[in-house]
Amino acid sequence: MSFTSDQIFDRNKLKTQIANWRFFALLALILLLWSLFGNKANISSPSKYIARVQLEGIIMDDHERNLALKELANDKNVKALIVHINSPGGSFVGGQNVFYALRKIADKKPVVAVMGEIAASGGYMSAIGADHILAREGTLTGSIGILLKSFEVTELAERLGVKLQTLKTSIYKASPNPFEKMPLEVKNAVEDTIQDSFEVFLNMVQERRKIESDKLKTIANGRVYTGRQAFEYGLIDALGGEDEAIAWLAKDKDIKGLEVVDVSLVKQTSRLEKILDSTATIFSNLKYTANTMVLQ
């Protein structure tokens, strides 16, 4: 079947019109979604409020979280901060960075830590950055100590006929190494490192909780304590949750009647941004398809 030049022109024109209609339909969809969700994505916080943040899971060093906490410190509309902590621990530096960030916030406004099911080790280190610490009776906390895990597979390697040759400037370099038996000198060096970090942790607890040195050494043995035990030992200030945190802010800091607003410590993408991102991808694919059709 043959086509005249006019028929080919009309066919290509029709395909172009279809592509254009698809574009305008897509644009109309964007405007509709904007009207439905755009305003919700831009709801502003009250002029003055209490910020609520969640610190959950393994606490590692997190640049975005550190920036978010810094913004809370500088936000004059935030009159207090409630930190909900539910974490079994994490890295030493991760816990320290949260601790110091909370202390900087506390220089400008009250900070309350509310422990959830668990706030141990690095979770506890983070909590002591607050001015006031609350936990439930069944909360698991404490675990003040440092842990470094290593493994050795030299015997297994020998059975498999594998022998690793390592050349290095010192026995301390890249040690402990699972393919080498740990020399006594390396073991002592690792233990010194662990002890030094432990002393830093102890000093942080002693400075913030004002617990006598001898008593603290007894408590800080790596044990996990219930919230009730932690209160008895002075590791926390009171038993309770967010209601008690708000009551403390009202009674001790004269911060009353303010709305508590959730603030994310991770970068959030608004609904509109998600829609626009998805739309851009769809339009890009559609444009490619339309152009291909026209050029056929």
CA dihedral 95, 99, 102, 106 (to 10 degrees): 170
Query: Between the CA of residue 268 and those of 36, 105, 265, 283, what are the distances in Å?
Result: 19, 22, 9, 24
117 sits in which H/E element: strand 111-120
- Give me the active site residues, please: 121, 173
Q: How far apart are the first and last CA of the chain?
A: 16
Pairing of strands 140-142, 224-226: antiparallel
Rg of the chain over all Cα atoms, to the nearest angstrom: 29
**Among candidates 289, 285, 245, 16, which has minimal Cα distance to 115?**
245
Q: State how far the Cα of 262 lies from the Cα of 257, in Å rounded to an integer.
A: 16
Q: State how far the Cα of 98 lies from the Cα of 236, in Å rounded to an integer.
A: 17
**Among candidates 53, 18, 122, which has minimal Cα distance to 266?**
53
Q: Are 90 and 122 in contact (CB under 8 A)?
A: yes
- Express the helix, strand and coil content of the chain in percent, nearest 5 each: 50, 15, 35
